[in-house]
Structure formats: structure tokens, C-alpha cells
Amino acid sequence: MPFLKKYLLPRIVQYLVVILIGATLIFFVPRLMPVDPVQQTLEKITIQGAFLDPDAIEQMRATLQDLYGLKGGLGAQYLTFWKRLFKGDFGPSFAQFPTPVMTLIKTSLPWTLGLLVTSTLLSWLLGNILGGLAAYYHERKWASVLESIAMVMRPIHYYIVALGLLMLLGYAIPLFPISGGFSIGRKFILTWDVMLDILKHALLPALSLVIVGTCTWFMTMRLLVSNLMAEDYIVYAQVAGVPDGEIAFKYAIRNALLPQVTGLALSLGQIFGGALITETVFAYPGLGTLLYSSINAGDYNLMMGITLLSVIAIATGVLIMDLVYPLLDPRIRYD
Amino acid sequence: MDVLRVQDLKCFYVVESQGQQREVKAVNGVSLNVKKNQVLGIAGESGCGKTTFLKSLLGLVRPPLRCLGGKVEYIGNGKATDIMSLSKHQHKELMWEHISYVPQGSLSVLNPVRRIGDTFESFIGAHMEPSTTKHQYEELVCSHLEALGLPEDTLRAYPHQLSGGMRQRVTIALATILKPHLILADEPSTALDVVVQRGVIQLLKDIQEEQQNTIILVTHDMAIHANICDRIAIMYAGKIIEEAGVEEIFSNPRHPYTQYLIGSLPRIGDKAHRISAPGSPPSLSDLPQGCSFHPRCPEATDNCRKEEPMLTGIGGDHRVACLSLTRGDFNADQAQVALDQ
């Protein structure tokens, strides 16, 4: 099959190479940081006031290096790293020793995924449809109203929007809880009550993300569609009396969507890095905070785990887009 | 009976540059009547306003193009409608059912990511009775394609998978499937090679003969005009300068510009050097005073530089806009080029 050989195979090879290079970088970059996790742990112990004689400290250092996978030269460490990786094991977290990195990621991931996948998809859909329509019906009044809103909102920094929403809807008009992923003290069982509670807590962070995301997609889509407006095939369809709604969706938005689909794949991949500012402002549990604290603590393994997950996610997103693209644009061929 | 009446139509591109308003007089006072069941050709050099004229006939007048006067009346079902004053909805209803359009450049006019069949569906679906069944629709499309010599597979193809000739046939099929009264064709064969060109033009003519509709055909190619048209109007600098039946134009061109145009056509066996009009057409934003052809006209007099000639009948249905005609014939031997068939 020429499809397999000429299209799929090179892309899968490329995909694997990207992950290989990514993982290698992830291995080396933290080791170039001026934070030594072994030293930090030792400091943590000595800071508590216990007196230890230097021999004991040296012994402890050796044990910690062994446990953390930091024994031997870089080459030996790199080999151990790959051996562990193939078993799906990122090793133990240094900062929260001995909890495995996988367990930490697994507790944070659902929060991040639930919040970011919904808000990313929603803002993509809203932004593209509204942006496309605003560009197509540019002489209508509502289109210029929408455009002005997006124009004003987009340059505002995200944390200002988030804090503003928090103050407005969490404090001034207390419609939503101001922090956390669920009410404190609530048992974590799957019931309607718990679901509702989680949803209520997620709404405000999601709203902030959707507002800013929609405005960003809106602006790009509006530009893309207004560039298409003078295209011959749109004018031709208009002359032929095809209803405007049909032209707007099937001719203008449909054709401008291709670069936006790539954008969506990339931003879906970026989800796995978490949304640090959202998580900080709304005290929401998630991967962003986890990654941030791991960097501060010099927690190599956790850092590598999250970053590698992110690399794999983005590479997978791009691979899927590469495979789907010919379906969206028939001019792109498999060979 | 007339199908289209154009009265003193003025459509200018109004552009502002460096705080100054400039008018590009692309259609500058055109009057023209088009009879039913007739193929009217509009000829002229590039940049003389042919395409803009056709656009304004379609009611496709959008900034920076503006209609500054005149009327375009379409006469159908016993009543006249002014195309320029239609609402958007009325315009959409008139289009394709009554007036359709074969565009220039068939690759860019078909949506690159939709199959030809989908384009048919949206173009025709907008004008079909709501009661039409899917079966009736499919039969209509298939029989029409078959009549035009297009295989049914065409419907499943994307525009880039078809050849230029096929694509142009598709646009002709799209324009003629609803049997409109008036078809406006803008350089339908320009991007094609001569062999395919002939096929496409022949197709257009065959359809016209069968459906008995009117075609206005814009092209700079005089050979095509000679092949298919009943009447020819020659445009120069936004105006029609001569209009007559096809044989009359080719055998008895009266305007010096028309004479140059026809005199420049090659003839088999004749190796003599062809004389073309000296100079180039004037800028439409800065027309010369008087007759706009006078800087290139060998017979120009002082009068030509001051007075603007009107399109006037000179016997039969031959109309010319030239002051010299009142002074007798111009360069009779150059006018000796007759139809080549």
C-alpha cells in the first residue's frame, strides 16, 4: 500500500524521533540546573536541627543518589532512565519521596484534562464560528459589536481577566466558590451531588479560559475569513444565489478552518503542561502547579514525567493532524 | 424582443489615494439593448472595461466599484426589473434562474475543498422548488451532464482533479442547468488551449441553440466572436464605440479602432505585415478630452479633441461613435478584411 509506505511510515518514524529527542533533552536539561536534589534533601534534614556527623551525611548522600537514580556518570544515568521509561516508570518523586511520579501525575491529570479539554474545545468552536460569521457579515451591526469586544478583551492579560472574574462572580456577587476543585471535607464518591460540586468549582476557571480563548480564536478566524471574502469561489457562489448562511459555513468558514485545526491540535497537546496561572488564581488542582513545584524543588523525576507527557501529547496531536489533514483538504495527497 | 436594456450606465471605481478621490471610469455611459435568442459579443483590449461592464450587468457592484448613474433593466416574464435597485433577496432569486454567469478562470471559482457534486447541490438547491425529490434532482443533474458530454464521475471529483477544459465545462453546466434566459460569459475560454477552447465555445453555442437563451460573451479574442456571435459590440475606454451584426462588423468596420482590431487579425496565406493601433489604451482614470481614441487615431482632427462622439445609427442596425463618419469614409482599403470563412 503506497499510503502506508509513503505517508504513514515516515510520519511514524518522525513521531518516534521527536519523542526520542524530546526525552533526551528532558533528561539533560534538569541536570544543568543549579539545583541539586540530593543536597536539598540533606539540607531539609539538617535544617530541622538534628546534628549529624559528616560521615553519616556522606553515607546518606550515597544512599539518596542511588534511590534517585543519580548514581554514576551521566551515561549510566541516561541508560537507567531509558530502562525505567520502557516500563512506564518515571521513578519516585524526590520532593515527595517515595511516592512514584506516576501516582502524582495520575491524581492531577483528571483535573487538568477535565478543565482544559472542555474549555479548549469550547473556545475553539465558539471563536471560530463567531469569528467566521463576524467576518462574513462584516457590514452587520452585531458583527462590529462582537469584533469590538474581542478587540478589547484579547490584549488584556489572562491573569487580570481571571482575577477580575474571581472578584466579580466569586466575591462581589458570590455565585461561585472562589477556590479549589471541590468543597473541602467532601468525600470523593461518584454521586450527582459531588459531580455538581465539581462542576460548580470548575465553572469560574473554565469561564475565564473560554473568554480569553474565544477572543484569540475569534481574531485569527476573522482575519482568515476576511481574507477569503474576495476569493472568486465565494463571489461566484454569491452571484449564483446560494443562501448567505450556506456560503458562510460551507465556503468561508470551512475553507478557513484548516490552519485553525492545526492550532487546535497544538493547544490540545499543550494541555498536558497544565495551566499554571489558572490553577494559581483559582487554587485549582492540576498539572501546572505540580510542574511548578517540581521545578522549585529540583524534583528531576517529576519534571521529566510531566514534560515527557507533554512532549508525547503534542507529538501525538501533530501526528493525528497529519493523518486527518488529507481528509479535510483534498488537495493534500498521501504521496 | 429585448431581454436586457442598458441605459447610459456609469460604473466607476472610486478610489482614494493620498487624500484625493480618483475615479476610474471603467463603464462610462454605456447604452445597449440585447435581443432575445441572440449571442452578443463584447470585444476590446484588456483594460477597456469589459469585465466591469459584465459585473455591473450581474448587479455585482461593490465598493470600490460604484454605479453613478444609468439603468440596467432585465425583461423577463413580461415585466422589467431594474437590476441595480433589487434587494439582496430579490437579487438572489433573479440570479441563476433568470440570469446566470460563466466566470473567468475556472480553478479559482470552484471551492477547492468541495466536490463538484456538492457545488451543484448548493447552486441548484437554492433555486429548486422545495417539493423536488432527491431522485428528480439527481436525474436533472445527470441528464444535463450527459448532454454536455461530462462523465457522471465528475460529480465526485474535486476541482483540482479535473483538467482546465473539464472545469470550464463544469462552470458552463452550472450556468445552464436551470435554463436561464440570459447567460453572461466572461472570457470563458481564455485560459484554455486552442483545441479545448473550440470545444468549450461550441458547447456554449450548442446549449444556446437548444435552450434558446441569450448570451453576452466577453472576450478579446475576435476569432471566437466570429465563430459564435450574432452581434458584436466593440468597447474602448469604458464606452461602446461600435455595434453591429457580426458580418457587418467584420466586412464593414467603420470606427478606426474597429478597423485596426479587425485589420490585425491574421489570415491564412496572407504574409503581409499586420498594422495594429499605435500606442496603448488610455488610463481609465485620466481619459483624454473629446473622443478618447483621438491620441491613437490617424484621422483625428481638432474637433475630435474637443467633442465627444455619440453612438449613432448609420443605417441598418449598425451604430458607431466617431465624428469622422460625418466627414466621409476613413481608409477604405484597411476595412477590406472580411470574415475568414
Decide if B321 contacts B242 (C-beta within 8 A): yes
| pLDDT tens-digit series, residues A260-272 | 998 998 898 888 8
Which residue shows C-alpha cell 441528464? B143
What is this structure's pTM?
0.81
For residue A236, tell me if it sits in a domain.
Answer: yes
**A230 vs B: CB within 8 A:** no
How many structural domains is chain B composed of? 2
pLDDT band at B101 (very low <50, low <70, confident <90, very high): very high
pLDDT at B328 over 60: no
pLDDT band at A334 (very low <50, low <70, confident <90, very high): low
Decide if B254 contacts B317 (C-beta within 8 A): no
Q: Which residues of B touch A250 (CB under 8 A)?
A: 111, 114, 118, 122
Q: Which residues of B touch A227 (CB under 8 A)?
A: none
For residue A117, tell me if it sits in a domain.
Answer: yes
Same domain, yes or no: B117 and B262: no
**B63 vs A: CB within 8 A:** no
Average of per-residue pLDDT across B175-188? 90
Same domain, yes or no: B193 and B257: no
Same domain, yes or no: B185 and B46: yes
User: Which stretches within chain A are classed as H helix?
Assistant: 2, 9-31, 37-47, 54-68, 74-86, 101-136, 141-153, 158-165, 192-228, 232-239, 244-246, 254-270, 276-281, 287-297, 300-328
How many interchain CB pairs under 8 A, A with B? 68
Same domain, yes or no: B316 and B264: yes
Q: Among A79-93, B37-51, B53-67, which is the least confidently predicted range?
A: A79-93
Q: Which residues of A touch B123 (CB under 8 A)?
A: 237, 240-242
Q: Which of B55, B86, B111, B167 to mutate to test the interface with A (most CBs of A within 10 A)?
A: B111
pLDDT band at B338 (very low <50, low <70, confident <90, very high): very low
d(CA B89, CA B92): 5
Nearest to B110 by CA among B145, B154, B159: B159
d(CA B282, CA A68): 83
pLDDT at B326 over 60: no
**B274 vs A: CB within 8 A:** no
| pLDDT tens-digit series, residues B198-250 | 888 888 888 899 889 999 999 888 888 888 899 999 999 889 999 999 999 99
Tell me the β-bridge partners of B76.
B79
* Facing residue for B60 by CB, picked from A239, A242, A255: A239
Which is it for strands B2-17 and B20-35: parallel, antiparallel or unpaired?
antiparallel
For residue B70, tell me if it sits in a domain.
Answer: yes
- CATH number, residue B93: 3.40.50.300
Average of per-residue pLDDT across A280-291? 88
How many structural domains is chain A composed of? 1
Decide if B256 contacts B335 (C-beta within 8 A): no
Same domain, yes or no: B126 and B268: no
Same domain, yes or no: B126 and B194: yes
Same domain, yes or no: B116 and B24: yes
* pLDDT value for B105: 73
For residue A119, tell me if it sits in a domain.
Answer: yes
Same domain, yes or no: B179 and B293: no
pLDDT at B25 over 70: yes
| pLDDT tens-digit series, residues B312-323 | 888 778 889 888
Same domain, yes or no: B137 and B273: no
* pLDDT value for A289: 87
Average of per-residue pLDDT across B271-286? 81
Which residue shows C-alpha cell 416574464? B77
Nearest to B251 by CA among B331, B311, B336, B317: B336
Q: Name the closest residue on chain A to residue B90, using Cα atoms.
A: A241
pLDDT at B193 over 50: yes
pLDDT at A211 over 90: yes
Of the residues B229, B249, B270, the one at which a domain ends: B229
For residue A327, tell me if it sits in a domain.
Answer: no
Same domain, yes or no: B58 and B201: yes
* Facing residue for A232 by CB, picked from B96, B109, B160: B109
C-alpha atoms less than 13 angstroms from C-alpha of B169 in its C-beta half-sphere: 24
Q: Name the closest residue on chain B to residue A327, using Cα atoms.
A: B113
- CATH number, residue A165: 1.10.3720.10
Which is it for strands B79-82 and B2-17: parallel, antiparallel or unpaired?
unpaired
**B70 vs A: CB within 8 A:** no
d(CA A25, CA A130): 40
More confident site: A72 or A119: A119
Cβ-Cβ contacts under 8 Å for B339 (sequence gap 6 or more): B226, B246, B247, B250, B251
Q: Which residues of B touch A246 (CB under 8 A)?
A: 122, 126
- In terms of residue numbers, what domain contains B179? 2-229
Taking all residues of chain B, what is their mean pLDDT, rounded to a whole number?
A: 85
Average of per-residue pLDDT across A319-325? 86
pLDDT at A92 over 90: no
* pLDDT value for B184: 92
Q: Name the closest residue on chain B to residue A243, using Cα atoms.
A: B126
| pLDDT tens-digit series, residues A24-33 | 998 888 788 7
B123/A243 CB distance under 8 A: no
Decide if B8 contacts B31 (C-beta within 8 A): yes
| pLDDT tens-digit series, residues A4-23 | 777 788 889 999 999 999 98
Top-confidence range, A289-303, B70-84, B172-186, B295-309: B172-186
d(CA A198, CA A283): 13
Same domain, yes or no: B255 and B201: no
**A328 vs B: CB within 8 A:** yes
Of the residues B191, B208, B229, the one at which a domain ends: B229
d(CA A229, CA A279): 40
ipTM value of the model? 0.85
Decide if A213 contacts A127 (C-beta within 8 A): yes
* Facing residue for A239 by CB, picked from B58, B108, B122: B58
pLDDT band at B337 (very low <50, low <70, confident <90, very high): very low
- In terms of residue numbers, what domain contains A282? 108-296
Decide if B216 contacts B57 (C-beta within 8 A): yes
Average of per-residue pLDDT across A95-110? 85
Q: Name the closest residue on chain A to residue B100, using Cα atoms.
A: A240
**A331 vs B: CB within 8 A:** yes
* pLDDT value for A225: 95
d(CA B56, CA B11): 7
pLDDT band at A125 (very low <50, low <70, confident <90, very high): very high
For residue A49, tell me if it sits in a domain.
Answer: no
B92/A243 CB distance under 8 A: yes
Q: Which residues of A touch B121 (CB under 8 A)?
A: none
Q: Which residues of B touch A232 (CB under 8 A)?
A: 103, 105, 108-109
* pLDDT value for B339: 34
pLDDT at A185 over 70: no
pLDDT at A71 over 90: no
Interface of B with A in 8-47 (CB under 8 A): none
Interface of B with A in 74-93 (CB under 8 A): 91-93
Same domain, yes or no: B105 and B13: yes
